[in-house]
């Protein structure tokens, strides 16, 4: 009964998706509310997922020459205000520090909402000649944005992220770096998190404050809403000019650098939950799962059972598989449900009868397939199942995305399609901001991106009917 009750506490996705999300976050012990309004506690199970995501990204960043560093937490008001578009974009959601102890500060300091200006300030001091370029820096930190409504992982006043900031001698190099980092995000999302994405460029309305181009990877959640998973910006030389980040070229000329920034946040965990989770809880793709296999001993008080469980754990560990034994005094039924709610990809059951037959029972979390495996070939079987599950999860998410992507030739089609079957709608656009504003006001639909892979669905803008210039992915978004 215990395990049945545990599962019943999760609202079904079809009944109430928002409540389902909240239930899963709570039951899988990913976050907790804190006494600081709008701020979340990331619990060990949630943080372990973030650490896995961090590892996969950080390894790839470093392979392209990026180094990590740490910038200050606070930004003087005058520094934040140096680039006008940037400050306009962030001013409404900045938190300020006005006192140091009991003394009122001469200049207010904001808690970083992002650190472009700090990196610019630093680069203006260390970049002198073409020999100092490129500079490829990143920091893993948290930032604060004073959001009005908050939800665990998706929107909180403080969130964890990485922000990479690079400066280059030429515009071409900066554009190349912007796209290189976008491709790393897409790679980690698709191949590690099993989340298919649409790669594209943001419209001017949706781009980052101060950027000349913002690229994005967009994913579709199970309720048909889009989620922007990561962005990569090309700043051109706008920030460089505002902050005097200049260098002496080989030709002995003073030139402004060309700059990029790129980031991904703990929102990604929200995406992972909403793409893969089911009515029993979280389902974590094997490659990103902090624990890939949970061993549940059956009748663990019987002689030899726990020893066998630990021996199997050691064997799997040696093969590089992340594994734990649930040797708590709970019933096996409770442990099954607990492993399910936490999304552990594989369950391995081992009891006296199994030991007698030299076998173990393996159960996949995603489709609950049960496999009886001989102990002699256990590691190979586990590796095979983890690999298959990773692929199946990606394939299912991709099939869902495709099924929920439709084309529209006019406004009625677009809105009807999103109301009937929420997802992405591909439709043509004239390039005019008014048309985007109209769509947003009319029904909360936003442009998600101008995809890299363009197609001509029709020749006129889906909103105004004038000549179209681009095909756009539209949707409602988190
Ligand atoms: Zn238009």
Q: How far is the CA of 450 from the centre of ligand 1 (A)?
A: 14
Q: How far is the CA of 449 from the centre of ligand 1 (A)?
A: 15
Domain's final residue, options 388, 418, 436: 388
Give me the pLDDT at residue 75, please: 96
Domain that holds residue 297: 293-388
| Residue 263 included in any domain | yes
CATH of the domain at 265: 3.30.930.10
Range with lowest mean pLDDT among 58-72, 176-190, 338-352, 430-444: 430-444
Q: How far is the CA of 431 from the centre of ligand 1 (A)?
A: 6
Range with lowest mean pLDDT among 157-171, 260-274, 304-318, 437-451: 437-451
β-pair type (346-350, 293-297): parallel
Q: Is 144 strand, coil or helix?
A: strand
Q: How far is the CA of 465 from the centre of ligand 1 (A)?
A: 6
Q: How far is the CA of 244 from the centre of ligand 1 (A)?
A: 38
Q: How far is the CA of 435 from the centre of ligand 1 (A)?
A: 5
| Residue 309 included in any domain | yes
Judgement on whether residues 57 and 155 belong to the same structural domain of the protein: yes
| Residue 6 included in any domain | no
**What is the pLDDT averaged over residues 24-43?**
96
Q: Is 450 strand, coil or helix?
A: strand
Q: How far is the CA of 440 from the centre of ligand 1 (A)?
A: 13
Q: How far is the CA of 203 from the centre of ligand 1 (A)?
A: 13
**What is the pLDDT averaged over residues 110-114?**
96
Judgement on whether residues 116 and 166 belong to the same structural domain of the protein: yes
Asked whether 266 and 146 are in contact (CB, 8 A), the reply is no
Give me the pLDDT at residue 88, please: 82
What mean pLDDT value characterizes the chain? 95
Say how many C-beta atoms besides its own lie within 10 A of residue 470's C-beta.
17
The conformation of residue 202, written as its DSSP 8-state character, comes to -
Judgement on whether residues 452 and 322 belong to the same structural domain of the protein: no
Asked whether 28 and 45 are in contact (CB, 8 A), the reply is yes
Asked whether 450 and 246 are in contact (CB, 8 A), the reply is no
Q: How far is the CA of 206 from the centre of ligand 1 (A)?
A: 16
Q: How far is the CA of 460 from the centre of ligand 1 (A)?
A: 8
**What is the pLDDT averaged over residues 389-404?**
98
CATH of the domain at 359: 3.40.50.800
Tokens at residue 60, please?
A: 């790839």
Judgement on whether residues 117 and 263 belong to the same structural domain of the protein: yes
Q: How far is the CA of 251 from the centre of ligand 1 (A)?
A: 46
| Residue 154 included in any domain | yes
Q: How confident is the model at residue 443 (pLDDT cuts 50, 70, 90)?
A: confident
Q: How far is the CA of 413 from the centre of ligand 1 (A)?
A: 15
Q: How far is the CA of 9 from the centre of ligand 1 (A)?
A: 47
Domain's final residue, options 276, 310, 336: 276
The conformation of residue 190, written as its DSSP 8-state character, comes to I
Q: How far is the CA of 463 from the centre of ligand 1 (A)?
A: 5
Give me the pLDDT at residue 8, please: 58
Judgement on whether residues 180 and 266 belong to the same structural domain of the protein: yes
CA dihedral 393, 395, 397, 401 (to 10 degrees): 180
| Residue 84 included in any domain | yes
Q: How far is the CA of 364 from the centre of ligand 1 (A)?
A: 49
Q: How far is the CA of 469 from the centre of ligand 1 (A)?
A: 9
Judgement on whether residues 373 and 418 belong to the same structural domain of the protein: no
Nearest CA among 229, 227, 232, 228 for reference residue 211: 232
**CA-to-CA distance for 272 and 284, rounded, in angstroms?**
7
CB within 8 Å of 430: residues ≥ 6 apart: 460, 461, 463, 464, 466, 467, 468, 469
Q: How far is the CA of 120 from the centre of ligand 1 (A)?
A: 37
Q: How far is the CA of 369 from the centre of ligand 1 (A)?
A: 50
Q: How far is the CA of 461 from the centre of ligand 1 (A)?
A: 5
Q: How far is the CA of 466 from the centre of ligand 1 (A)?
A: 6
Nearest CA among 218, 297, 281, 181 for reference residue 472: 218
Strands (E), 77-201: 96-100, 103-111, 135-144, 158-168, 198-201
Q: Find the length of the chain.
A: 478
The per-residue pLDDT for range 427-439, each reduced to its tens digit, is 999 999 999 999 9
Say how many C-beta atoms besides its own lie within 10 A of residue 356's C-beta.
8
Query: For residue 343, is pLDDT > 50?
Result: yes
β-pair type (135-144, 158-168): antiparallel
| Residue 283 included in any domain | no
Judgement on whether residues 206 and 63 belong to the same structural domain of the protein: yes
Query: For residue 53, is pLDDT > 60?
Result: yes
| Residue 5 included in any domain | no
CATH of the domain at 465: 3.30.110.30
Q: How far is the CA of 204 from the centre of ligand 1 (A)?
A: 14
The conformation of residue 73, written as its DSSP 8-state character, comes to S
Give percent above pLDDT 70 in the chain: 98
Give me the pLDDT at residue 104, please: 98
Q: How far is the CA of 247 from the centre of ligand 1 (A)?
A: 42
Query: For residue 329, is pLDDT > 90?
Result: yes
Q: How far is the CA of 438 from the centre of ligand 1 (A)?
A: 9
Query: For residue 466, is pLDDT > 60?
Result: yes
| Residue 469 included in any domain | yes
Judgement on whether residues 272 and 409 belong to the same structural domain of the protein: no
How many domains, in total, are found in the chain?
Answer: 3
**CA-to-CA distance for 389 and 293, rounded, in angstroms?**
12
Question: What's this model's pTM, rounded to 2 decimal places?
Answer: 0.95
Q: How far is the CA of 474 from the centre of ligand 1 (A)?
A: 14
Q: Is 96 strand, coil or helix?
A: strand
What element of type H or E holds 458?
none
Chain centre to alpha carbon of residue 322: 22
Judgement on whether residues 33 and 63 belong to the same structural domain of the protein: yes
Judgement on whether residues 362 and 420 belong to the same structural domain of the protein: no
Judgement on whether residues 421 and 465 belong to the same structural domain of the protein: yes
Q: How far is the CA of 208 from the centre of ligand 1 (A)?
A: 22
Q: How far is the CA of 477 from the centre of ligand 1 (A)?
A: 21
Query: For residue 85, is pLDDT > 50?
Result: yes
Give me the pLDDT at residue 1, please: 39
Judgement on whether residues 208 and 325 belong to the same structural domain of the protein: no
**CA-to-CA distance for 166 and 184, rounded, in angstroms?**
15
Domain's final residue, options 337, 354, 388: 388
């Amino acid at each position: 009964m215990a395990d049945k009750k545990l599962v019943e506490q999760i609202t079904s996705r079809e009944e109430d998706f928002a409540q389902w999300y909240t239930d899963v976050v709570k039951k899988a012990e990913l976050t907790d509310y804190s006494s600081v309004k709008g701020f979340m506690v990331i619990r060990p199970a949630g943080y372990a997922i973030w650490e896995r995501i961090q590892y996969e990204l950080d390894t790839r960043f470093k392979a392209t020459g990026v180094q990590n560093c740490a910038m200050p937490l606070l930004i003087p008001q005058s520094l934040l205000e140096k680039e006008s578009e940037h400050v306009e974009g962030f001013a409404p959601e900045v938190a300020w520090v006005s006192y140091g102890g009991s003394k009122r500060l001469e200049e207010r300091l904001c808690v970083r909402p992002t650190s472009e200006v700090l990196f610019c300030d630093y680069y203006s001091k260390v970049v002198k000649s073409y020999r100092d370029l490129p500079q490829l820096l990143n920091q893993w930190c948290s930032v604060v944005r004073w959001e009005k409504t908050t939800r665990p992982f998706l929107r909180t006043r403080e969130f964890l992220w990485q922000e990479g900031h690079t400066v280059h001698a030429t515009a071409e190099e900066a554009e190349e770096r912007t796209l290189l980092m976008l491709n790393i995000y897409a790679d980690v999302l698709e191949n590690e998190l099993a989340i298919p994405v649409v790669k594209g460029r943001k419209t001017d309305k949706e781009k980052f404050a101060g950027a000349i181009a913002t690229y994005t990877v967009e994913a579709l959640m199970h309720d048909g809403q889009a989620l922007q998973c990561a962005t990569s910006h090309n700043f051109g030389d706008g920030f460089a000019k505002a902050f005097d980040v200049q260098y002496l070229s080989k030709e002995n000329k003073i030139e402004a650098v060309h700059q990029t920034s790129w980031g991904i946040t703990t929102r990604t965990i929200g995406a992972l939950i909403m793409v893969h989770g089911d009515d029993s809880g979280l389902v974590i793709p094997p490659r990103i799962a902090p624990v890939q296999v949970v061993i549940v001993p059956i009748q663990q008080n019987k002689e030899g059972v726990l020893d066998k469980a630990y021996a199997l754990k050691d064997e799997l560990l040696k093969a590089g598989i992340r594994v734990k034994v649930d040797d708590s005094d709970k019933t096996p039924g409770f442990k099954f449900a607990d492993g399910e709610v936490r999304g552990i990809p594989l369950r391995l059951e081992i009891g006296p009868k199994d030991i007698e037959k030299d076998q173990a029972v393996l159960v996949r979390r995603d489709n609950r397939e049960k496999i009886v495996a001989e102990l002699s070939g256990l590691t190979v079987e586990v590796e095979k199942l983890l690999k298959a599950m990773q692929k199946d999860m990606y394939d299912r998410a991709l099939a869902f995305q495709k099924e929920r992507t439709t084309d529209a030739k006019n406004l009625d089609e677009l809105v009807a399609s999103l109301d009937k079957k929420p997802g992405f709608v591909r439709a043509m656009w004239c390039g005019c901001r008014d048309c985007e504003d109209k769509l947003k006001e009319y029904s909360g639909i936003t442009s998600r991106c101008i995809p890299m892979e363009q197609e001509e669905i029709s020749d006129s803008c889906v909103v105004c009917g004038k000549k179209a210039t681009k095909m756009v992915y539209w949707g409602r978004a988190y």
